[in-house]
Every structure is written in C-alpha cells, then in structure tokens.
C-alpha cells in the first residue's frame, strides 16, 4: 500500500506517540506501507520539523528523513491544474496522483479535493486494519 503523508500528520505523530498519526508513522517505519514523496515534501518536512516550537532534535530529524528517502518511493510529480486555497498543499496532491498512491492522509481534509481516498488518520486506520 502506498500513501502520501501530509506534514500535519507527521508532526502529530511525533508530538503524541500514542495517537493515530503515530500508528501510521509506525506502519511506515515497519515497512507495512510505503511513503511516497518528492523533494518539495521532504523540504517541507525538514523545515517544519526544525521549528524551535516543536523541540525536535537533529538526532530525530535526520534519521527519520533518511529513512523516508531510502525506504520511501521518490515520485517525479506532474503539475496539476487545480486551484488550491493553500497552494503549499498542492505538492501532496500532485505526488498522490502522479505516484498512484492508494491514499493521501491529512489532518486538513478541507484543504484537498473531496475524494474517496483522501482521508484523515482515523479513517485511514479503519480501512488499513480491515486488510
């Protein structure tokens, strides 16, 4: 199963290791699901993880991003001509579409087109656990 993970889910997974986003991160780290990414996504992950307000250390950030780069799947995303309220979110959708991901997981469903396979963490886990 291939997914695209919005940054807000990644951050939530690290802030609350017992929450649903953390369960998704653990599935990625256990190679149960494959993370799709491009350079724009990795740069956003890095920039947000480095924000002082979160207090994440380099000892956490660099190995995590290295894991994503080596175990995830790089996608050369095609631009999509859809208007987004927050254009920063478009890269996740482009990787999702270009990489034929099974799901895009986000905590901000209202930032994306209403599609069956764009889910919040709770609904993704419900589906994943049925398989």
| Residues whose CB falls within 8 Å of the CB of residue 103, separated by 6 or more in sequence, listed in order | 1, 2, 3, 4, 96, 117, 118, 119, 124, 127
The model's pTM is 0.95
pLDDT (tens digit, 9 = 90+) per residue, 19-67?
A: 999 999 999 999 999 999 999 999 999 999 999 999 999 999 999 999 9
CATH architecture of 2-130: 3-Layer(aba) Sandwich (3.40)
């Amino acid at each position: 199963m291939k997914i695209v993970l919005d940054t807000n889910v990644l951050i939530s997974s690290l802030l609350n290791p017992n929450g649903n986003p953390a369960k998704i991160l653990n599935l990625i780290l256990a190679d149960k699901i494959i993370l799709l990414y491009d350079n724009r996504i990795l740069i956003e992950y890095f920039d947000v993880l480095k924000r002082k307000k979160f207090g994440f250390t380099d000892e956490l950030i660099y190995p995590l991003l290295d894991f994503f780069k080596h175990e995830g799947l790089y996608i050369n995303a095609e631009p999509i001509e859809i208007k987004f309220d927050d254009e920063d979110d478009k890269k996740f959708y482009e990787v999702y579409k270009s990489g034929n991901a099974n799901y895009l997981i986000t905590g901000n469903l209202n930032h994306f087109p209403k599609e069956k396979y764009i889910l919040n963490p709770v609904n993704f886990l419900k589906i994943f656990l049925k398989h």
